[in-house]
């Protein structure tokens, strides 16, 4: 029965071809360092899932943001787990993505024909850092507030256009309700939308080009 | 791979498939099952309102005409402390004592208004009409207006508010 349903769908959707392309593609003999891209992808998915769950209770306004986080931590069953995964997963994701990048760099895997994969990878790192920067403000506690004060001030130190950058980031001269809501929007809509598109491009390129050999003495 | 590493029962590919599915299911369960609890736990919390509310001295209420009384209670929902307002109609009749009606329409919980000229309650949402004693005249509600349990204590009128 299940086989019949699968065959019916496969004939129309080409599921087997997708499966083969993604999971049954040829790979050279590689080592554990090559698992970090998948690890980053997995952590990114977890961030998405836990982030969506957090949005059930979180509200991005100065009078309720902190209270809603406190409620998630103490009032909702397993809120501590969801927020904990999102909090620690964020740091872990930066770590795995960065080590993944070091692997690609030291193995020279960014070279022809994989330059675009590398470029999209750099965009993903910048996007992930942007997610970290915007997400850090959302709990609206002292640490978030001052970290964002300092962070936006650093952006404001750019010669000439610094002040306008600072104003654009904060939504005005002060760190305010406007800063919180625009960081929230960036964190849950704008960055994720961009990241999704770039992640899909990155994966498409990995599948299309295959992964490179570990360089040896002959190459 | 040399044959001494091969299992007669299972090839490498099936082994990896089984292990991957098992670990994948485990990880999905670790996040998925708490996520269900996380989503529904505030809906299941006990939020019972059970107290006697004073409506003031009974003599304050005129005879034979429903008189509205409003009060509010503070509630905590999640991170928000809000005050929830209630409205009741007190009908005092000579020889029949006092009946207190809830102003919540039994159809879909809109608030009823007493229309003195018509001697009727009218629901603004679907034009349901109730008479002075809370009986349905016309419209969609499934039952007459709800009544509160009442008591008199030293001339003060109390109603028993029960929710949840």
Q: What pLDDT score was predicted for residue B164?
A: 60
Q: Which has more confidence, B10 or A181?
A: A181
Residues B136 and B59 in one domain: yes
Closest-CA residue of B relative to A65 is B79
Q: Do B38 and A71 touch (CB under 8 A)?
A: no
Task: Provide the shortest C-alpha distance from residue A26 to chain B (in Å).
Answer: 14
Q: Each residue of A97-137: pLDDT tens digit?
A: 999 999 999 999 999 999 999 999 999 999 999 999 999 99
Q: What pLDDT score was predicted for residue A8?
A: 96
Q: Tell whether the model's pLDDT for residue B4 goes beyond 90.
A: no
Residues B78 and B8 in one domain: no
Residues B34 and B88 in one domain: no
Q: What pLDDT score was predicted for residue A9?
A: 96
Evaluate whether residue A198 is within a structural domain.
yes
> Which residues in chain B have their CB less than 8 angstroms from residue A82's CB?
34-35, 38
User: What total number of domains does chain A contain?
Assistant: 1
Residues B57 and B93 in one domain: yes
B106: containing domain: 49-163
Q: Do B38 and A56 touch (CB under 8 A)?
A: yes
Q: Do B37 and A85 touch (CB under 8 A)?
A: no
A187: containing domain: 50-209
Q: Do A82 and B79 touch (CB under 8 A)?
A: no
Q: Do A77 and B80 touch (CB under 8 A)?
A: no
> Which residues in chain B have their CB less than 8 angstroms from residue A64's CB?
79-80
CA neighbours closer than 13 Å in the CB half-sphere of residue A96? 18
Residues B134 and B53 in one domain: yes
Q: Tell whether the model's pLDDT for residue A57 goes beyond 60.
A: yes
Q: Each residue of B13-43: pLDDT tens digit?
A: 899 999 999 999 999 999 999 999 999 998 8
Quick one: what percent of chain A has pLDDT higher than 70?
100
Residues B91 and B36 in one domain: no
Q: Each residue of A190-208: pLDDT tens digit?
A: 999 999 999 999 999 999 9
**Complex ipTM over 0.95:** no
Q: Each residue of B43-84: pLDDT tens digit?
A: 887 667 788 999 999 988 999 899 999 999 888 888 888 888
B17 close to A19: Cβ distance less than 8 angstroms: no
Instruction: Show contacts of A30-35: CB within 8 Å, 24+ apart.
Output: A30/A211, A30/A214, A31/A214, A33/A99, A33/A103, A34/A103, A34/A211
CA distance B111 to B124: 8
Per-residue confidence at B2, pLDDT binned at 50, 70, 90?
low
Q: Each residue of A4-43: pLDDT tens digit?
A: 999 999 999 999 999 999 988 888 999 999 999 999 999 9
Q: What pLDDT score was predicted for residue B150?
A: 93
Residues B24 and B73 in one domain: no
Strands B136-138 and B129-131: antiparallel
CA distance B137 to B146: 15
CA distance A105 to A19: 29
Residues B58 and B125 in one domain: yes
Domain CATH code at residue A160: 1.20.810.10
Q: Do B39 and A46 touch (CB under 8 A)?
A: no
Q: Do B41 and A77 touch (CB under 8 A)?
A: yes
Residues B27 and B95 in one domain: no
Q: Do B31 and A79 touch (CB under 8 A)?
A: no
Best CA proximity match to B53, nearest among B81, B86, B77: B86
Q: What pLDDT score was predicted for residue A41?
A: 97
Q: What pLDDT score was predicted for residue A117?
A: 97
Q: What separation in angstroms does the CA of A177 have from each of A119, A136, A162?
A: 35, 15, 21
Q: Each residue of B96-144: pLDDT tens digit?
A: 889 999 999 999 999 999 999 999 999 999 999 999 999 999 999 999 9
Average pLDDT over every residue of A45-69: 96
Q: What pLDDT score was predicted for residue B78?
A: 86
Closest-CA residue of A relative to B32 is A49
Q: Do B38 and A78 touch (CB under 8 A)?
A: yes
Report residue B73 as tokens. 């209670």
Residues B57 and B98 in one domain: yes
Domain CATH code at residue B101: 2.102.10.10
Residue A68 has its nearest CB partner, among B31, B35, B79, at: B79
Residues B127 and B78 in one domain: yes
Omega cis (within 30) before B121: no
Residue A57 has its nearest CB partner, among B31, B34, B78, at: B78
CA distance A145 to A103: 35
Q: Which of residues 53-92 of A touch B (CB under 8 A)?
A: 53, 56-57, 59, 64, 67-68, 70-71, 75-79, 81-82, 85
Evaluate whether residue A164 is within a structural domain.
yes
Cβ of A189 under 8 Å from any chain B Cβ?
no
Residues B56 and B21 in one domain: no
User: What total number of domains does chain B contain?
Assistant: 2
Residue B39 has its nearest CB partner, among A46, A56, A85, at: A56
Q: Do B34 and A50 touch (CB under 8 A)?
A: no
């Amino acid at each position: 029965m299940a086989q019949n349903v699968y065959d019916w769908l496969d004939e129309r959707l080409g599921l087997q071809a997708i499966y083969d392309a993604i999971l049954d593609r040829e790979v050279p003999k590689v080592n554990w360092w090559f698992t970090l891209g998948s690890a980053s992808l997995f952590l990114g998915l977890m961030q998405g899932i836990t982030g969506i769950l957090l949005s059930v209770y979180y509200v991005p306004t100065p009078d309720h943001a902190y209270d809603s986080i406190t409620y998630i931590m103490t009032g909702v069953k397993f809120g501590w787990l969801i927020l904990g995964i999102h909090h620690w997963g964020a740091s872990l994701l930066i770590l795995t993505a960065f080590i993944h990048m070091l692997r690609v760099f030291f193995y020279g895997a960014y070279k022809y024909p994989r330059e675009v994969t590398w470029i999209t990878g750099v965009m993903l790192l910048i996007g992930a850092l942007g997610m970290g920067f915007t997400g850090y403000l959302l709990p609206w506690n002292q640490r978030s507030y001052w970290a964002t004060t300092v962070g936006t001030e650093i952006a404001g130190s750019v010669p000439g256009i610094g002040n306008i950058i600072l104003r654009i980031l904060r939504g005005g001269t002060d760190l305010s309700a406007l800063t919180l809501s625009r960081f929230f929007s960036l964190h849950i809509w704008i960055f994720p939308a961009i990241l999704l598109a770039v992640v899909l491009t990155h994966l498409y390129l990995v599948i299309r080009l295959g992964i490179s050999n570990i360089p040896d003495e002959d190459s | 791979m040399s044959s001494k590493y091969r299992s007669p029962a299972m090839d490498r590919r099936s082994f990896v498939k089984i292990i991957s599915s098992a670990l994948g299911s485990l990880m999905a369960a670790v996040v998925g099952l708490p996520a269900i609890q996380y989503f529904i736990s505030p809906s299941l919390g006990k939020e019972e309102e059970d107290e006697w509310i004073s409506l003031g001295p009974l003599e304050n209420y005129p005879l034979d005409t429903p008189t509205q009384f409003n009060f509010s209670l503070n509630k905590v929902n999640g991170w928000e402390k809000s005050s929830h307002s209630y409205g009741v109609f007190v009908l005092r009749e000579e020889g029949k004592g006092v009946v207190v009606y809830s102003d919540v329409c039994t159809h879909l919980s809109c608030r009823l208004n007493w229309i003195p000229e018509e001697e009727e309650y009218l629901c603004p949402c679907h034009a349901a009409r109730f008479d002075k004693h809370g009986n349905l005249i016309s419209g969609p509600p499934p039952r007459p207006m709800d009544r509160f349990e009442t008591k008199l204590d030293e001339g003060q009128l109390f109603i028993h508010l029960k929710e949840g």
